[in-house]
A and B are shown apart, each in its own frame.
Chain A
Amino acid sequence: MKSFYGDLPEKGSLLSSGIPSVEDLDGVLPPADARKKGPVAVLECFQEIPCDPCGYACKFGAIKEFSDVNDLPVIDWTKCTGCGQCVAACPGLAIFVVDETYSPEECLIAMPHEFLPLPERDQVVLLYDREGRHVGEGTVHRVVRGKDKIATPVVWVRAPKALGYVARALGLPEREGGSRN
């Protein structure tokens, strides 16, 4: 169905196809006041798995300490600065930062990106939704690399505001190696 997150199944699609549903995403959408304030982390992590690095990565105490390693992450929106540390740390590549206050027309999206070649600042990139469909273009705002290849690079992209909660992957116009289907 058409939704704020793009064209996605209404519910029940996560485990039958890997595509988060509108229902899943509604559950993790930051509240309006947090989104109005600036960049916020969006934790698209919907399943209780033994995992906790996001909690350790956040230096602002915004992600609650895990009492059980299998817990879903719980975020305190009032503490999140949208710094993006957790995006690079999450082994599930399930965290994004969205800043809808960037400009009247554009938002900023931070996405983990472990493919070569890494895009460079001001480069135009193709944006894809959660099913890998091409949904538009963006411009690279910033690339945060780790200190070595072991870290996950985080690419911040300027994109049309309507794509803030739609685009979740990027690619270079001249296609990186193995192509999309």
Chain B
Amino acid sequence: MTGLRIEEHPILDFPKRKKVKFFFEGREMEGYEGEPIAAALHAAGVKVLHHSLKLARPRGFFCAIGNCSSCLMIVDGVPNVRACTERLREGMSVERQVGRGPSLTGR
């Protein structure tokens, strides 16, 4: 994984976790099981998670604790999932969302 992962820290210990594969916009990527999707994407160099409704401006996460909705993504086909709190699982498919995302009811 890229250089953004902290391998050694003067104060903290990060326990080794299981690596899993997932798909971002169809591309295969690697992350750690149970970490937030946004953390796995960030570590893989993906910062743009969403495009805004009106101007389609790129958005990343902002609060990282599920407060601000800046990180809404489509996860396994379900829109409006907060990537900063949703946990990564093996084989997940994650896509960028534009605005409110596709409507599930087809309306």
Q: Do A and B come from one complex?
A: yes
Q: Which residues of A contact B (CB under 8 A)?
A: 114-118, 149-150
Interface residue B54 (Cβ < 8 Å from any Cβ of A)? no
Q: Give B6's nearest chain A residue, CB to CB.
A: A177
Q: How many residues of B contact A (CB 8 A)?
A: 6
Interface readout for B4-37 with A: 1 if CB under 8 Å, 0 if not?
0000111111000000000000000000000000
From the candidates A114, A116, A150, name the one contacting B8 in the complex (CB within 8 A).
A116
> Is the contact region of chain A dominated by helix, strand, or loop, or is it mixed?
loop
Q: Give A114's nearest chain B residue, CB to CB.
A: B10
- Report the Cα distance A116→B13, complex, angstroms: 13
A127 to chain B, nearest CB (A): 19
Q: Which residues of B contact A (CB under 8 A)?
A: 8-13
> Is the contact region of chain B dominated by helix, strand, or loop, or is it mixed?
loop
B104 to chain A, nearest CB (A): 44
B10 to chain A, nearest CB (A): 5
Given A115-B10, A116-B9, A149-B13: 10 more A-B contacts, CB < 8 Å: A114-B10, A114-B11, A116-B8, A116-B10, A117-B8, A118-B10, A149-B10, A149-B11, A149-B12, A150-B11
13 contacts between A and B (CB under 8 A): A114-B10, A114-B11, A115-B10, A116-B8, A116-B9, A116-B10, A117-B8, A118-B10, A149-B10, A149-B11, A149-B12, A149-B13, A150-B11
A108 to chain B, nearest CB (A): 23
Q: Give A118's nearest chain B residue, CB to CB.
A: B10
Q: List, in ascending order, chain A residues with CB within 8 A of B13's CB.
A: 149
Q: List, in ascending order, chain B residues with CB within 8 A of A149's CB.
A: 10-13
- Report the Cα distance A117→B10, complex, angstroms: 8
A91 to chain B, nearest CB (A): 13
Q: Give A149's nearest chain B residue, CB to CB.
A: B11
A57 to chain B, nearest CB (A): 19
- Which A-B residue pairs are the 4 nearest by beta carbons? A116-B10, A114-B10, A149-B11, A116-B8
Q: List, in ascending order, chain B residues with CB within 8 A of A115's CB.
A: 10
Q: List, in ascending order, chain B residues with CB within 8 A of A116's CB.
A: 8-10
Q: List, in ascending order, chain A residues with CB within 8 A of B12's CB.
A: 149
Q: List, in ascending order, chain B residues with CB within 8 A of A118's CB.
A: 10
- Report the Cα distance A118→B9, complex, angstroms: 11
- Report the Cα distance A116→B10, complex, angstroms: 6
Q: Give B13's nearest chain A residue, CB to CB.
A: A149
B87 to chain A, nearest CB (A): 26
